[in-house]
A and B are shown apart, each in its own frame.
Chain A
Amino acid sequence: MNATLTRADPGASSLREIADRLRGRIIDMCGGDEGGHLGGSLSVVDILSVLYFGVLRLDTQDAGHPDRDIFLLSKGHAALALYAVLAERGFLPAEELDSFGATGSRLAGHPMRAVPGVEMPTGSLGHGLALGLGFALAARLGGQPRRVFVLTGDGELQEGSCWEAAGCAAAQRSDALTAIVDANGLQLGGRVADLGAPGALADRWSAFGWSVRECDGHDQAALADALAGVPWQPGRPSVLIAHTQKGYGVGFIAGQVASHYATLSERQHGRARAALAAHIRRQS
């Protein structure tokens, strides 16, 4: 493997500190005129921190490195979290995050390819798994060791195209493909359990031929342990159902449907930042 392709060294910061920093930046981005998808961005922060600082082999100097691992944010509305982690990892200048949603900015509400480190634009739900399958098939054709990680929402799984791709990936024995479900249990209009298919999510994936594991999506050690070892079964794609809390880290919105989208006033922004600071104090 090319020496420039590395897993990141978190350096002086622990993964926990990185995640805390990302949450602060996400809150800040929701203070702009247009606001942003706050709750579902906060819920994926630990997943992205573990991926970008412990799992993905990337090259910040050559975002298109042919042997890099691929990450696709299928739940593209969590773009705030992606931008924050790309900046933390060195793909973007951190100060560019201030431009989120501003006129002329490349940091849109859903990620575009103009942003270094974004592999494919996403935002219309239900495309990431099929795109990931394509990258995995391409890697197999080329004999590359590439691994592909796709982060979906649990509400997103109401899109039928997710299951079309899931079945296809299993049939193709695409074990380079790993899905991570941000199972925060909530979507724009209510509980996923009330609007989506009934029954255990793990059973559904298992029935589709995937190798399934579940963990606490805010337990970074558990996430790292699970993702480091993919594929868990040769010949099967892997799915990690990460149980998370929407709005995690900001107590007064955590677990609330209303956290889905927020345009924070100056006062609300201060309150959210204070809540995050309290959350960080409680952890330490």
Chain B
Amino acid sequence: MSGTPGGPASRATAARHVYRDRLVTLMAADPRVVCVDTDTGLFTGTDFGPAAGRYLDLGIAEHTAMAAAAAMARAGWVPFVNTMSTFASTRALESVKINIAYNELPVRIFATHGGVAAGHLGFTHFALEDLAVMRALPGMAVVVPADASATASVVEQSAAIGGPLYVRLGRKATAPLPEGTEPAVIGQVQRLREGEDTVIVCCGPHPVLAGLEAADLLASWGVGATVLNAHTLCPFDQATLLDCAATAALVVTVEEHRTTGGLGGLVAEVLAEFAPRRVLRIGLPDVLAPGVGPQEEILKRHGLHAEGIAARVRAALESQPLAWSAS
């Protein structure tokens, strides 16, 4: 698993810090961009230069920050709101829904500590429903960059998005995607690896890296896996999924999220409607195993690591589809 202490990822820059730096650059270039903070600490010591007046720390007030950002957007500004994923998606939800989404306003919500990135802080700081929640809002673009360079690119690409945008980031640095990976384009599924037997659709830094490693393991067992990075859940690139899934007996989803309503739900919906396939959703369960710990440890504990994914894919391929019985 990536991001282990002393590993390559620890020398990299965390996506949230890359985002911060790119936002500062964007604020210098675009005088309409406003940084709305909620006492996250992400911008402590940041030099905004002449744009300093457009950094507004509204305090620990996420509901207020979302509404204020909506009003600012209505007045012609482009606010970037900063908070943690759990607060953006559930605490401030009504404000996001009514004030931002229903009004189709170009507010950019950059939410850190997605999934179990705050593993040591406990479950109040986990965000395991945010993708399902945000995906349900009308017009909301939902993006989970898989590495730091994709995060930087998303900040720049956001200018082309006319409505609201939710971007889920993590906390610590993670390894970059393999060299040669095509740049992440919002709205396009990335094809990372081709294989014939199964399609593994991943979302988020750890799931993508683990999915690629799992594909290596599966290959060593004679199973060919296509690996997709579905970094954009909304708008979703159905065409690429359907193309890749056309000949696969099994489509697997891997996400740092509960299996309800997020990537797994999305892929199941698309396949059920256009090309029914057997789907295996891998994610976090409703009830997590007790105990805090590093993000990687919590993911491993729940089978969200290469070995866990590969084993479940192989078992699914070797078994018959689950029979449903009313008895």
Interface residues of chain A, those whose CB is within 8 Å of chain B, are 66, 113, 119-121, 124, 127, 129-135, 137-139, 141-142, 161, 164-165, 167-168, 171-172
Contacts and interface: CB of A to CB of B under 8 A. Distances in A.
B75 A139 contact: yes
B76 interface: yes
A142 to B, nearest CB: 7
Nearest to B34: A141
A161 B72 contact: no
Interface stretch (B59-67, B121-129, B137-145, B275-283): B59-67
A195 B53 CA distance: 41
B15 to A, nearest CB: 27
Interface in B96-135: 98-99, 102-103
B95 A138 contact: no
A74 B103 CA distance: 16
B75 A130 contact: no
Contacts of B71: 120, 130-135, 137-138
A168 B59 CA distance: 7
13 contacts: A131-B68, A131-B99, A134-B68, A134-B69, A134-B72, A135-B71, A135-B72, A137-B56, A138-B77, A164-B64, A165-B64, A171-B58, A171-B59
Given A131-B67, A141-B34, A164 B61 contact: yes
A165 B67 contact: yes
Contact of A121 (B59, B77, B102): B102
Contacts of A164: 61, 63-64
A121 B94 CA distance: 13
B70 interface: yes
Nearest to B56: A137
Contacts of B172: none
B35 to A, nearest CB: 11
Given A124-B94, A161-B64, 16 more contacts: A113-B103, A120-B70, A120-B71, A120-B99, A130-B67, A133-B64, A134-B72, A134-B74, A134-B75, A135-B71, A139-B75, A142-B76, A164-B61, A164-B63, A165-B64, A168-B59
Contacts of B98: 121, 124, 127
B75 A138 contact: yes
Given A135-B74, A167-B61, A127 B67 contact: yes
B61 A165 contact: yes
Contacts of A129: 64
Contacts of A130: 63-64, 66-68, 71, 95, 99
B194 to A, nearest CB: 48
A134 B99 CA distance: 11
B99 A127 contact: yes
Contacts of A119: 74
B102 A168 contact: no
Nearest to A112: B102
B22 interface: no
Given A127-B95, A138-B72, A121 B103 contact: yes
Contacts of B56: 137, 172
Given A113-B103, A121-B103, A127-B95, A141 B67 contact: no
Given A120-B99, A168-B64, A141 B54 contact: yes
Contact of B103 (A120, A168, A171): A120
Given A134-B69, A172-B56, A142 B75 contact: yes
A47 B81 CA distance: 34
A161 B154 CA distance: 31
A131 B66 CA distance: 9
A66 B76 CA distance: 9
Contact of B76 (A131, A138, A165, A168): A138
B293 to A, nearest CB: 33
Interface in B151-169: none
Nearest to A133: B68
